[in-house]
Amino acid sequence: MPKFQKKRQIRKAKKTLRRSGSVKRIRARQNDWTTAVGSDWDDLDYESLERIMPRDERDRRRRIEEAIIASPQAMDSAPAGDAAPSAVGGETALVTAVAGMSARIEKDGVERQATIRGLLTEIDAGYINPVAVGDQAVVSEDGAGAWAIESILPRRTVLTRPDPFLAPRQQVIAANADQLLIVSSWHSPDLWLELVDRYLIAAQLSQIEPLVCVNKADLIDDPAGYEAATRVYRQMGHKVLPTSAITGQGVSDLRDALADRLTVLVGLSGTGKSSLMSAVQPGLDIRVGEISEAHRQGRHTTTQSSLYRLDGGGYVADTPGIREFGLSGLTLGELPLYFPEIDELAADCRFSNCSHVQEPGCAVGAAVERGDVSAPRLASYRAIFDELEV
C-alpha cells in the first residue's frame, strides 16, 4: 500500500476512535472552541461532544452562556456581605482596560478606575478573564466616588486566544469588536501571507469583519505581483487596502474605515502598525504584543489589551502576543470553507477525500502549477491542515 494511503488510513482510524471518545486528544485539545473546560470537569465527554457539534449549536450555547453571565440572576451567587452598593444602579460603561481585578471604564466620555466584583468569576464566564476590553459593563458607584463593575452585557462578538499558561482555557482579547485590522507589509518584512490567512480565519470564526492592510505600499516595485498576491482576498470579498505611512497613501481610507467602530489591530512586528496609527491620528501610539518573524511561533505576553479612543469616533484595541490566535474554533472539516478556491477544485482530485497535501492526482496541486491557485494559499492550507490533524 502506498505510504500516503497508509497515512490516510491511520488518520481515519484515529478520527473514528476520537469520535467514539475513547482516545484522549492531545494536540487537538488546543484547537478546540471549548471555553468552559475547567481542569476538574469531566471535560473529555464535553469536549468530544462539542467537537462534533455544528458551529451553529456551539454559537447558540455560547450565546446562552453569555446571556447567563449578563443576567442579573447571575449576581444571586454573590457571597453574603458582598452586596452591591446601591447608590447608582443599572448604568453601563465601556471597559477600556483590564488589569487583574481592576479596570478602566469610560462613562459619558470620562475615564475612571473601577473594581471588578469577585462574583464575576471564570466559572461563570467560561473564560480566564470574565471582563475584557470592549465589554459593556453594568457599573455602580458607592456614593463616595468608587466605581465597580457588577456584570457585563451580552457580547456581540468575542475574540479569544488560548491562555498562554492555562491552555486550552481561553482568554478574551476583546469583546464586541466590529473589525480586525490585519496590518502586513509588502517588504521589510516581506508579505507573510500565512499569517494573513490565519487572521482572516480568526476574524471569520469570530464574526468580525477583517480589513487587510498592505502597508509600505511605497515599496511596491511590482504592481502586478501585488495584484496577484492579494487577488484571492478580494475575490473572497475581503477588503484589501494598500497603505503607506510614508507617502500617506490609503491613510484617509483607513481613517474612514476605523471611524465609529471597535477595531482590533494585529500584525507582525515591523509592518508599520504604530506608524500607520499615528498617520491616522497624530499622537496615537499603540502597543501591540510582538510576534516576530525570527520566532514565527510568536511570543506570548501576559499584557492585556487596551482600547484607544479615536478623534473621529470609534476605538482601536491593541493585542497581546498571539500564536494560535482565534483559530481555536476551527475543525479540520471546516478548514476548506476558508479556502474556497481550493475547495472548489477538490471534486477534480483523483481521491474523493484528497487532503491536497501529498496525494497524487491532486487538482489543487496542478492548479498551483498552472498558476490558477496561489502557491502561498495552498501552503497556508497545508500548514493549518497539519496542525489540525491529529
Q: Which residues pair with 183 in a beta bridge?
A: 213, 267
CB of 327 vs Mg ion, minimal distance in Å: 23
Q: State yes or no: residue 230 binds ligand GTP (CB under 6 A).
A: no
Q: What is the CB neighbour count within 10 angstroms for residue 198?
A: 25
CB of 227 to ligand GTP, least distance (A): 19
Q: Which does 36 bind (CB under 5 to 8 A by kind): ligand GTP, Mg ion, Zn ion, none?
A: none
Question: Which residues of the chain form contacts with Mg ion (CB under 5 A)?
Answer: 273-274
The size of the interface with ligand GTP (CB under 6 A), counted in residues, is: 17
Return the DSSP state at 306: B
User: Binding ligand GTP by CB under 6 A: which of 240, 245, 280, 373?
Assistant: 245
Provide the grid cell at 350: 483523483
- Give the interface segment with ligand GTP, choosing from 49-57, 97-105, 173-181, 266-274 (CB under 6 A): 266-274
Q: Are 194 and 379 in contact (CB under 8 A)?
A: yes
Beta carbon nearer to Zn ion, 217 or 364:
364
In the bound state with ligand GTP, the residue whose beta carbon lies nearer, of 270 and 376, is: 270
For 112-137, b/e burial (b = at least 16 CB within 10 A) is: bebebbebbeeebbbbbbbbbbbbbb
If the CB atoms of residues 40 and 221 are measured against ligand GTP, the closer one turns out to be 221
Q: Are strands 102-107 and 91-99 parallel, antiparallel or unpaired?
A: antiparallel
Partner touching 356 among ligand GTP, Mg ion, Zn ion, none, CB below 5 to 8 Å by kind: Zn ion
In order, the DSSP letters of 224-274 are: HHHHHHHHHHHHTT-EEEE--TTT-TTHHHHHHHHTTSEEEEEE-TTSSHH
Q: Of these, 140, 171, 274, 319, which contacts ligand GTP (CB under 6 A)?
A: 274
For residue 245, the partner it binds in ligand GTP, Mg ion, Zn ion, none, with Cβ less than 5 to 8 A by kind, is ligand GTP
List the single partner that 354 binds among ligand GTP, Zn ion, Mg ion, none, CB under 5 to 8 Å by kind: Zn ion
Q: Which residue intervals of the chain are DSSP H helices? A: 3-19, 43-51, 55-70, 122-125, 193-205, 223-235, 251-258, 273-280, 340-343, 363-370, 375-388
Judged by beta carbon, residue 21 or residue 376, the one nearer Zn ion is 376
**In degrees rounded to 5, what are phi and psi of residue 174?**
-155, 145
271 binds ligand GTP (CB under 6 A): yes
Residue 127 half-sphere exposure toward CB, CA atoms < 13 A: 23
Neighbouring-strand partners of residue 182: 212, 266
Euclidean distance between the first and the last CA atom of the chain, given in angstroms as a whole number: 21
Applying CB under 5 A, which residues contact Zn ion? 349, 354, 356, 362, 364
Name the one range near ligand GTP by CB under 6 A: 34-42, 122-130, 239-247, 343-351.
Answer: 239-247
Minimal distance, residue 367 CB to Zn ion, in Å:
9
Q: CB 379 → Zn ion: shortest distance, Å?
A: 14
Q: Which residues bind ligand GTP (CB under 6 A)?
A: 215-216, 218-219, 244-246, 267, 269-275, 288, 290
